[in-house]
Amino acid sequence: MRSDIMQAGMLADALARQAVAVCRYYLASGRKQGRYWICGDVHGNPGRSLFVRISGRRAGKWCDAATGEYGDLIDLIMLNRGLALRDALAEARHFLRMPRLPEPPVTYSHENPDVYDPVAAARRLFAASVPITGTLVERYLDSRGIHLMQDHTALRFHPKCSYRNETGFEVWPAMIAAVTGLDGVITGIHRTWLDPQTCGKAPVAQPRRALGQLLGHAVRFGQVGDIAIAAEGLETALTLKLLFPNLPVLAALSAAHLGALILPDSLQRLYVARDNDPAGWRAFNRLRSRHIDRDIRALVPRLDDFNADLVTFGPDPVRHWIVRQLLPEDVPQFVSCSQPARCRHASGYGSA
219 & 317 share domain: yes
Confidence bin at 150 (pLDDT 50/70/90): low
Tens digits of per-residue pLDDT, 255-302? 888 888 999 888 999 999 989 888 888 889 989 998 898 999 999 999
Query: pLDDT value at position 297?
Result: 95
- Is 108 inside a domain boundary? no
CA distances from 299 to 5, 209, 224, 266, 342 (A): 39, 26, 18, 21, 27
Q: Which residues contact 344 (CB under 8 A, 6 or more apart)?
A: 133, 151
- CA atoms of 95 and 15, how far apart (whole Å): 9
147 & 200 share domain: yes
- Is 152 inside a domain boundary? yes
- Is 126 inside a domain boundary? yes
Q: Domain containing 70 — which CATH number? A: 3.90.580.10
205 & 232 share domain: no
Hey, what amino acid is at 201?
Answer: K
| Secondary structure class of 229 (helix, strand, coil) | strand
232 & 314 share domain: yes
The answer to whether residue 213 scores a pLDDT higher than 90 is no
Give the mean model confidence (pLDDT) for residues 58-78.
86
- CA atoms of 352 and 349, how far apart (whole Å): 8
Give the mean model confidence (pLDDT) for residues 4-25.
85
329 & 223 share domain: yes
Q: How far is CA 245 from the centre of its chain?
A: 23
Indicate if the alpha-carbon torsion angle 139, 144, 149, 153 is positive or negative. Answer: negative
43 & 140 share domain: no
225 & 270 share domain: yes
The answer to whether residue 345 scores a pLDDT higher than 50 is no
- Is 346 inside a domain boundary? no
- Is 207 inside a domain boundary? yes
311 & 259 share domain: yes
Give the mean model confidence (pLDDT) for residues 43-70.
85
166 & 226 share domain: no
Q: Which residues contact 265 (CB under 8 A, 6 or more apart)?
A: none
288 & 226 share domain: yes
Give the mean model confidence (pLDDT) for residues 237-248.
91
**More confident site: 115 or 296:** 296
250 & 327 share domain: yes
- Is 160 inside a domain boundary? yes
Domain of residue 17, residue span: 2-97
Number of domains observed in the structure of the chain? 3
Query: pLDDT value at position 83?
Result: 86
Give the mean model confidence (pLDDT) for residues 87-113.
64
